[in-house]
């Protein structure tokens, strides 16, 4: 982690204080149930930790009404929200995986796609933006119980108000999966899903910079259904050491320094997008509103797989990614995804973004020249 530059959009370096809580003796405690209503005795101190996490989460996301901080991960949060809102066989609408969605939004290999019936929308091939006609068409066709807004590889702001209008007009609930952007939302730098969404799921370890985990927000009238869906619906004992670490992370995210960090993360993403575009990368949508950049690398004469391997050889970690209108398999792809949360946590700024873009084109051009790759790698290690 020290020797590479970490640019995977879903990763971050969490705080030492979070690692301390996450590695604490709270891991020893069983605490099925909720604070004050546990199935086990001896929960006095873990109750305190969970109440801190819940209260701080509600404070952090203005307009939220109820939260459950027990989901073990983002995918666990999603399946709990699904089972609260739907029965097996029910229909929902989501962005497809190859257009930027997440596999827990109905991929055929995932339980969400095996137990429920997804109908997908995507982005417009021309500009890479949400295809609102496709959203409306999917809703009209599927008559879904749930519409999902949220993605893993979408570089622009999502219009939650518009998603809510389409979902609610069709009698469906709106579920926002803000896993990637929860830190950006918390900092007030992305439009909030509150009060538009009926359920909001998230991970806690991406832009939010907390421990690896998940959480679900719901309207007050859905509180009992969500809590029941998490436990006993989908999970047993909550991870109390992780919940304590969530409480620490949310406290830190409430500080002005977090907003400043998030602003730097977005400034870095914009700068990196511009620097990559200037060097021939096909930046999808022409830029970014958030922490991630999606690029077509075929103008550079490589696939996503080849570009990722070239950068890995010099110590710059990104991931290959499908792009709108993709013609290659997910294991090869025509694109790559960059993200700036981790590099920004490490203190990198605009000058480093320019340097990273330069190393990227140099590494791709030198992908078959081991000596040149090694020379670049030695420069990368110094940063
Ligand atoms: N939802 C979205 C939008 C994601 O991008 C991810 C992970 O990348 C998840 C859910 C799943 O989170 P986890 O890996 O914690 O299960």
* DSSP state at residue 4: S
- How many angstroms is it from 131 CA to the middle of ligand 1? 22
Catalytic residues: 30, 32, 177, 203, 206, 212
Q: 202 has which bridge partners? A: 215
Pairing between β-strand 214-218 and β-strand 173-177 as defined by DSSP bridges: unpaired
Distance between CA atoms of 147 and 131, rounded to whole angstroms?
14
Q: Is the pTM of this model over 0.95?
A: yes
Q: Which positions ≥6 away from 306 have C-beta within 8 Å?
A: 297, 364, 367
Q: Is the CB–ligand 1 distance for residue 75 below 6 Å?
A: yes
DSSP state string for 291-339:
SEEEEE-GGGT--HHHHHHHHHHTTEE-EEE--TT--S-TTT-SEEEEE
Print burial letters for 346-355: b (CB count within 10 Å at least 16), e (below 16): eebeeebbbb
- C-beta of 102 in contact with ligand 1 (< 6 A): yes
Q: In a 10 Å sphere around its CB, with 0-12 CB exposed, 13-18 middle and 19+ buried, how is residue 169 labelled?
A: exposed
Measured CA to CA, the distance from residue 242 to residue 19 in angstroms comes to: 9
HSE, CB side, 13 Å, CA atoms: give it for residue 226: 25
Kindly give the number of the ligand 1 atom that is closest to the alpha carbon of 78.
10
Closest CA to 353 of 263, 262, 272: 272
Would you say the C-alpha torsion 297, 300, 305, 309 has a positive or negative sign?
negative
What DSSP designation does 345 have?
Answer: H
Length reported for the chain:
383
Task: Give the pLDDT confidence of 27-71 residue by residue, as tens digits.
Answer: 999 999 999 999 999 999 999 999 999 999 999 999 999 999 999
Atom nearest to 10 CA in ligand 1: 8
Helices 350-365 and 304-313, packing angle to 10 deg: 110
CA nearest ligand 1 atom 13, residue: 74
- Measured from the CA of 205, which atom of ligand 1 is nearest? 15
Q: Are 177 and 100 in contact (CB under 8 A)?
A: no
C-alpha closest to that of 78 among 156, 175, 172: 175
CA of 47 to the centre of ligand 1 (A): 27
Joined together, the tokens standing for residue 118 give 């997804």
Whether 201 contacts 336, CB under 8 Å: no
The residue whose CB lies within 8 Å of the most ligand 1 atoms, and thus the one to mutate among 69, 102, 190, is 102
d(C-alpha 239, C-alpha 72), whole Å:
7
Pocket of ligand 1 contains residue 179 by CB under 6 Å? yes
Q: Ligand 1: does its nearest atom lie under 6 Å from the Cβ of 73?
A: yes
For 235-255, the pLDDT digits (tens) are 999 999 999 999 999 999 999
- Ligand 1 centre to CA of 182 (Å) is 12
* Local confidence pLDDT in tens for the 383 residues of the chain: 889 999 999 999 999 999 999 999 999 999 999 999 999 999 999 999 999 999 999 999 999 999 999 999 999 999 999 999 999 999 999 999 989 999 999 999 999 999 999 999 999 988 999 999 999 999 999 999 999 999 999 999 999 999 999 999 999 999 999 999 999 999 999 999 999 999 999 999 999 999 999 999 999 999 999 999 999 999 999 999 999 999 999 999 999 999 999 999 999 999 999 999 999 999 999 999 999 999 999 999 999 999 999 999 999 999 999 999 899 999 999 999 999 999 999 999 999 999 999 999 999 999 999 999 999 999 999 98
Distance CA 6, CA 297 (A): 19
CA of 72 to the centre of ligand 1 (A): 11
Task: Assign 110 to helix, strand or coil.
Answer: coil
How many A from CA of 75 to the centre of ligand 1?
6
Ligand 1 proximity of 106 Cβ (cutoff 6 Å): no
């Amino acid at each position: 982690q020290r020797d590479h530059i970490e640019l995977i959009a879903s990763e971050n370096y969490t705080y030492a204080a979070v690692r301390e809580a996450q590695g604490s003796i709270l891991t020893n405690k069983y605490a099925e149930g909720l604070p004050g209503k546990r199935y086990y005795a001896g929960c006095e101190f873990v109750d305190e930790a969970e109440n801190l996490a819940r209260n701080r989460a509600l404070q952090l996301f203005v307009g939220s009404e109820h939260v459950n901080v027990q989901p073990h991960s983002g995918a666990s949060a999603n399946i709990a929200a699904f089972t609260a809102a739907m029965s097996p066989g029910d229909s929902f609408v989501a962005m497809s995986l190859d257009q930027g969605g997440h596999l827990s939004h109905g991929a055929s290999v995932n339980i969400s796609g095996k137990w429920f019936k997804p109908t997908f929308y995507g982005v417009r091939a021309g500009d890479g933006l949400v295809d609102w006609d496709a959203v409306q068409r999917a809703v009209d066709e599927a008559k879904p119980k749930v519409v999902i807004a949220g993605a893993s590889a979408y570089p622009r702001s999502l219009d939650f108000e518009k998603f809510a209008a389409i979902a609610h007009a069709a009698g469906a609930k709106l579920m926002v999966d803000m896993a990637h952007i929860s830190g950006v939302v918390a900092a007030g730098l992305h439009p909030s899903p509150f009060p538009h969404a009926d359920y909001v799921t998230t991970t806690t370890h991406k832009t939010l910079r907390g421990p690896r985990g998940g959480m679900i927000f719901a309207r007050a009238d859905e509180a009992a259904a969500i809590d029941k869906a998490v436990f006993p619906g989908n999970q047993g004992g909550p991870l109390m050491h992780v919940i304590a670490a969530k409480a620490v992370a949310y406290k830190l995210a409430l500080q002005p320094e977090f907003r400043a960090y998030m602003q730097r993360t977005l400034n870095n993403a914009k700068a990196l997008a511009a620097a990559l575009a200037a060097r021939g990368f096909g930046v999808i949508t022409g830029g970014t509103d958030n922490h991630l950049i999606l690029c077509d690398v075929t103008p550079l004469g490589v696939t996503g797989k080849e570009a990722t391997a070239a950068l890995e050889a010099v110590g710059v970690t990104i991931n290959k990614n499908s792009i709108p209108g993709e013609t290659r398999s997910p294991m090869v792809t025509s694109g790559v995804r960059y993200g700036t949360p981790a590099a920004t946590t490490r203190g990198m700024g605009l000058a480093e973004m320019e340097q990273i873009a330069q190393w990227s084109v140099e590494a791709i051009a030198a992908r078959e020249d081991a000596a040149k790759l090694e020379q670049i790698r030695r420069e990368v290690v110094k940063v």
